Amino acid sequence: MEVLYTSNLLSVKPQSPTASSTHIRRLCISPKTTINTGKLSYRRVKKLRVSAIAQPLTGSSDSSPSSDISKGAPRISSNDEQQGDEGKFNWFSHWYPAAPEYDLDKRVPHAFTVMGLDIVVWWDKRSQTWQVFDDSCPHRRAPLSEGRIDEDGDLQCSYHGWCFGPKGDCKYIPQEPSDGPRVHTSKRACASTYPSLQQQGIIWFWPNTDPQFKDTALEKKPPLIPALSDPSFPCTLSMRDLPYGYEILTENLMDPSHVPYAHYGLGSQTPMPWNNISFKRAGRPLDLCLERLDESGFRGKQVTGFSNFTPPCVYVSHHTFKTSKEGKPQPSISGTEQEKMKTIFFIFICIPVSPGRSRLIWAFPRNFALWMYRLLPRWLTHIQQNLFPDSDLYFLHLEERKLQNYGKTNWEKACYVPTAADAFVVAFRKWLKRYANNGVDWGKSFDGSLPPSPPKEQLMDRYRSHVVKCRSCKGALNVF
- Give 135-167 pLDDT, tens digit per residue: 999 999 999 999 999 999 999 999 999 999 999
| CATH number for 200 | 2.102.10.10
At what angle are helices 471-479 and 378-385 packed, to 10 degrees?
Answer: 110
Strand order in the sheet with 148-149: 148-149, 155-156, 163-164, 170-172
State the pLDDT at residue 392: 94
Contacts of 380 (CB under 8 A, 6+ apart): none
CATH of the domain at 359: 3.90.380.10
Domains of the chain: total: 2
Same domain, 400 and 278: yes
Q: Does 122 share its domain with 155?
A: yes
Largest CA distance in the chain: 86
434 and 382 inside one domain: yes
Give the pLDDT confidence of 377-389 residue by residue, as tens digits: 999 999 999 999 9
Instruction: Kindly state whether residue 459 falls inside one of the protein's structural domains.
Output: yes
Whether residue 269 is predicted with pLDDT greater than 80 in this model: the reply is no
> Residue 205 sits in which domain range?
96-219
Q: Please check the confidence at residue 197 and state whether its pLDDT lies above 60.
A: yes
Where is pLDDT greater, at 94 or 29?
94
Residue 74: the pLDDT is 54
Q: From residue 217, how far is each of 56, 208, 210 by CA, in Å?
A: 40, 13, 14
Residues 6+ positions from 5 with CB-CB distance below 8 Å = 11, 226, 227, 316, 318, 345
From the number of C-beta atoms within 10 Å of its C-beta (0-12, 13-18, 19+), residue 244 rates as buried
Q: Which pTM was predicted?
A: 0.80
Query: What CA–CA distance (Å, rounded) separates 273 from 199?
Result: 29
Do 370 and 246 lie in one domain? The reply is: yes
Express each pLDDT in 90-105 by its tens digit.
Answer: 999 999 999 999 999 9
**Domain boundary pick from 171, 187, 219:** 219
Whether 206 and 238 share a structural domain: no
Question: 214 and 243: one domain?
Answer: no
Bridge partners for 193 per DSSP: 133
Indicate if 294 and 401 belong to the same structural domain: yes
Hey, how many other C-beta atoms are within 10 angstroms of the C-beta on 142? Answer: 17
Q: Please state, in angstroms and as integers, the Cα–Cα distance from residue 87 to each residue in 311, 410, 441, following that order.
A: 14, 16, 10
Q: How far, in Å, are 220, 230, 372, 383, 385 from residue 376 at the CA level?
A: 37, 20, 5, 11, 13
Q: What is the pLDDT of residue 29?
A: 32
Residue 468 in domain:
yes
> Is 141 part of any domain?
yes
Which residue, of 196, 219, 242, is where some domain finishes?
Answer: 219
DSSP-derived 3-state class of residue 351: strand
- CA-CA distance, 361 to 237, in Å (whole number)? 7
- The whole-number average pLDDT for the span 4-22 is 41
- Do the domain assignments include residue 342? no
**Residues forming a β-bridge with 331:** 321
Would you place residue 48 in the very low, low, confident or very high pLDDT band (cuts 50, 70, 90)?
A: very low
27 vs 7: CA distance, rounded Å: 18
Identify whether residues 311 and 425 lie together within a single domain: yes
Of the residues 219, 251, 268, the one at which a domain ends: 219
| 303 within a domain of the structure (yes/no) | yes
Q: Given a cut of 70, is residue 12 above it in pLDDT?
A: no
Count CB neighbours of 434 within 10 A: 23
CB 191 within 8 A of CB 119: no
Considering the domain architecture, whether residues 278 and 412 belong to the same structural domain is answered as yes
Question: For the packed helices 246-253 and 423-435, what is the interaxial angle rounded to 10 degrees?
Answer: 140
Q: Which tens digits make up the pLDDT trace of 415-438?
A: 999 999 999 999 999 999 999 999
475 — pLDDT class (breaks 50, 70, 90): very high
Please indicate, yes or no, whether residues 244 and 204 belong to a single structural domain of this protein: no
* CA–CA distances in Å: residue 29 to residues 100, 125, 186, 228, 408: 30, 43, 53, 21, 32
Are the CB atoms for 440 and 250 separated by under 8 Å? no
